[in-house]
A and B are shown apart, each in its own frame.
Chain A
Amino acid sequence: MRHTLSALGLILLAGPLAATSAMADTFRFTAIPDEDESRLVERFTKVADYLEEQLGVDVEYVPVKSYGAAVTAFRNNQVQLAWFGGLSGVQARRLVPDSVALAQGAEDAAFTSYFIAHDSTGLESGDELPDAVEGMTFTFGAKTSTSGRLMPEHYLRQRFGADPEETFSRVGFSGDHSRTIALVEAGTYDIGAVNFSVWDAAVEDGRVDTDKVQIIWTTPSYPDYQWTLRGDADERFGDGFTDDVRQVLLDMTDPELLASFPRSGFIPADNSMYAPIEEVAENLGLVR
């Protein structure tokens, strides 16, 4: 342990030296698309170029792998702006005081999740989840995904009054929405919970064999993805910067840029819209 600490000390000494040379005042942002992470840097660099042009500051895109990493980067001030999911946005705003939700996707005000099932289960689409799902296998998406985990778990608990682990014979986390679809399609899991926009896009592109996997239930709607900016942005980039960023985001109309998220456009949002998400997260013990 002492060794660890001394090593840490060494690193601490080296750190500030290295830090002085880095990043003067570049505005950094991150985003995880809810599907298709190929050419992540290339696509989001275009978004960065747009922001740079509109805001008049250097803008850089920082690629991240998971919601957790995005929150960490936001908290460490490695990024000042982030495209978060509902839950990760709540986590981030709790960790960084005064940070604000600026805008959400046009689709995010009333977001839903689909419960999808493999054909062999014989489950039919209906107004509520059938009792027959009990004892089957089930997969969420990422562990801190709002549409892939938080809200589906919330509605599952409401419906069956028990932990998902008790309802199903096996509960897994696929890691992301595309994977959830693939796993249910392959029959690895009987049922999965997936973000509606990812499913719709996959069906539209013909990437899903709908003979093998179908929607069996749609959740009620809830707010999801949003842009969140750190509270100290004005201090660092000048008064009115927060409003500028919000406006620039709302003004983003280029379909090529919007396709990276993928959204049809952005609409205003504020922190209070996400109170229901926060409440559910607290109930499930995902934030404290």
Chain B
Amino acid sequence: MSLKYGDRYPGLLRGTGIGARLARHSLTLLAITLLLMPLADLHVLSRDPWAELGRIAQGLLMPHFGSIDAPFKALGLTVSVALWGTLAGVVLGFPLALLFSRSRLVRAGCAFVRAIHELFWALLFLQIFGLSALTALAALAIPYAGIFAKVYAEILESTPSAADDALPQGTGRLSRFLYCELPLAFGQLAAYTRYRFECGLRASVLLGFVGLPTLGFQLESAFREGRYFEAGAVMWLFYALIASLPWWAHRRLLLPLTLGSLLLLGPWPQIDGALLWRFLSTDIWPAPLLSGDLPGLVAWARDIPELLPAIGNTLLLGLLGTAGSLVIAMLLWPLASRHFGNRLTRAAGSGLLVFLRSTPELMLAFVFLLLLGPSLLPAWLALALHNGALIAFLVARHADSLEPGMPDLPASGRLAYELLPRVYPGLLALLYYRAEVILRESAILGMLGVATLGYVIDDYFQTLMFDVAFALLLITACLNVLVDALARRLRPRDVTHDDPCLRQEQLSYPR
């Protein structure tokens, strides 16, 4: 955009350029957030969070590994569930990916199953399969099938068509797929599957929070009961697992690992057909609905008193989390970028980002909740820090791949004139992709005691009123699908990839 003679002097934030548009966009988001913030309950309820923080830090710094109950069993189960859950997700999701662009039903179904968090699925399957490996696998496999279907379909669609066009006319669909689309997309498919497996590991740990005996089981009770030395030990075990991923999840070890881990999965449930049928046909549907009593249904719905505030809080927390992630990402990405600071600050910055992004939101929120009490504040902090760090990490990698045209500019000039204009559209796109995930997490954080939908859902699962719990799950899923559609409309065009962690180097940006 050269300023030609005769161009009008632009007003503040005026202009039709992409920069001005994105700036207006971000500022609107922040303004709406500030406007709605008074509605959120952001009290610090704890009178002395620092003492507790000190104890937690002490526990993390001086973990007591001897206090973990059967660590290798929990570790093995965590890995097995992640591996087989992801694998089952691939098996279910891949055929759906092939139908994805053709069938509206498949698209809707996939949007629905991935709108429900792994932990909610776990709560649901817990009622059918009990505390068994099947519950854990299904809780991972079903949402992942929906995610795989969508992402695989997008990858396959974006494969270059040149090779396909060169094939002789009359080549069958399957042959075309086997010889062109699949080999061309394979690298990306594999990279995404690998990333999803890493997500699966985190989710597998979290399944412990609802009682499956993975790493999270002890982590939760240790934190809850204040045994921070034990909690610290489990945390380190978890970080070691994530950090050593490239070695133990090496391509060549994958097959023996997969087969070997099958032995670690368990226990397998005895399935009582009558119970299962009762659950599917009766338990999860409101009684007035089954008897066709419509006025009764209205009364039934009125009896869910916390519904509207819970929906409001979930949406509000989602918005706060998204805006917070934007701020955190903007603040943190220069820390890990090669264009700023020295070797020491960069190492520290990268370390911080890796730490924040490998710790699941739920775990962060859990710790903040212990510190600050159950308002929206700890949940907000957790969402903003985790997602902000995740985005910052990718943005820093993108910035590192750029060569500044004028390397002698001072740091501030380099940031404002060289780097930010290039990385910002991508940053915003990642944020909008992430908005759906943030909302999903907002709902699930309720299980920790924050007043979002998860709180109410957990309530009804605890009191075994599955019809209400199921209806609330449906509402949560619908909210998520709506927000996803909204975010898709808002996000900057031309930045095509769905998942922020997908193909980190390949983010494409508007020209």
Q: Which 10 A-B pairs have the closest CB atoms?
A: A187-B47, A65-B211, A3-B109, A76-B130, A18-B268, A37-B221, A78-B130, A69-B211, A68-B462, A22-B268
With a cutoff of 8 Å between Cβ atoms, the chain A residues found around residue B226 in the complex are: 178-179, 182
> How close is A21's CB to chain B, nearest CB, in angstroms?
7
Which residues between 425 and 476 of chain B lie within 8 Å of chain A, taking CB atoms?
A: 449, 458-459, 461-465
> How close is A30's CB to chain B, nearest CB, in angstroms?
9
With a cutoff of 8 Å between Cβ atoms, the chain A residues found around residue B225 in the complex are: 35-38, 176, 178-179
With a cutoff of 8 Å between Cβ atoms, the chain B residues found around residue A14 in the complex are: 134
Knowing A39-B69, A76-B272, the reply to whether A172 touches B462 (Cβ < 8 A) is: no
In the complex, A280 has a CB within 8 A of chain B: no
Contact count band on B: 35 or more
Which residues between 94 and 115 of chain A lie within 8 Å of chain B, taking CB atoms?
A: 95
Which residues between 63 and 97 of chain A lie within 8 Å of chain B, taking CB atoms?
A: 63-69, 71-73, 75-78, 91, 95
In the complex, A1 has a CB within 8 A of chain B: yes
Contact pattern, B 101-130, Cβ under 8 Å of A = 1, otherwise 0? 000011001101100000000000011111
With a cutoff of 8 Å between Cβ atoms, the chain B residues found around residue A63 in the complex are: 211, 213, 217
Contact assessment for A143 and B210 in the assembled complex, using a CB-CB cutoff below 8 Å:
no
Knowing A3-B96, A3-B146, A178-B226, the reply to whether A18 touches B134 (Cβ < 8 A) is: yes
> How close is A173's CB to chain B, nearest CB, in angstroms?
6
With a cutoff of 8 Å between Cβ atoms, the chain B residues found around residue A73 in the complex are: 130-131
A to B CB contacts below 8 Å, 16 in the list: A1-B112, A3-B145, A4-B113, A38-B230, A66-B462, A68-B463, A69-B211, A71-B464, A76-B269, A76-B270, A77-B270, A78-B132, A95-B464, A120-B47, A170-B45, A186-B48
Which residues between 23 and 61 of chain A lie within 8 Å of chain B, taking CB atoms?
A: 23, 35-42
Knowing A3-B96, A7-B145, A187-B48, the reply to whether A19 touches B271 (Cβ < 8 A) is: yes
With a cutoff of 8 Å between Cβ atoms, the chain A residues found around residue B46 in the complex are: 186-188
| Given A72-B131, A175-B449, A188-B45, 13 extra CB contacts under 8 A | A3-B96, A14-B134, A15-B129, A19-B269, A23-B267, A65-B209, A73-B131, A76-B269, A78-B269, A175-B224, A176-B224, A187-B48, A188-B47
Most chain B CB neighbours (cut-off 10 Å) among A10, A75, A76: A76
Which single residue of chain B is at the shortest CB-CB distance from A40?
Answer: B69
- Chain B residues close to A by CB (< 8 Å): 45-48, 51-52, 67, 69-70, 92, 96, 105-106, 109-110, 112-113, 126-132, 134, 138, 141-142, 145-146, 208-211, 213, 217, 220-222, 224-227, 230, 266-272, 275-276, 373-374, 449, 458-459, 461-465
> How close is A79's CB to chain B, nearest CB, in angstroms?
9
Knowing A72-B126, A143-B462, A178-B226, the reply to whether A41 touches B70 (Cβ < 8 A) is: yes
- What is the number of residues of chain A that contact chain B, defined by CB distance less than 8 Å? 64
Which single residue of chain A is at the shortest CB-CB distance from B221?
Answer: A37
- Chain A residues close to B by CB (< 8 Å): 1-4, 7, 10-12, 14-16, 18-19, 21-23, 35-42, 62-69, 71-73, 75-78, 91, 95, 118, 120, 137, 142-144, 170, 172-176, 178-179, 182-183, 186-189, 286-288
With a cutoff of 8 Å between Cβ atoms, the chain B residues found around residue A137 in the complex are: 45
> How close is A37's CB to chain B, nearest CB, in angstroms?
4
Interface of B is mostly: helix
With a cutoff of 8 Å between Cβ atoms, the chain A residues found around residue B209 in the complex are: 65
With a cutoff of 8 Å between Cβ atoms, the chain A residues found around residue B110 in the complex are: 3
A120 to B47, CA, bound (A): 11
With a cutoff of 8 Å between Cβ atoms, the chain B residues found around residue A91 in the complex are: 463-464
With a cutoff of 8 Å between Cβ atoms, the chain A residues found around residue B222 in the complex are: 38
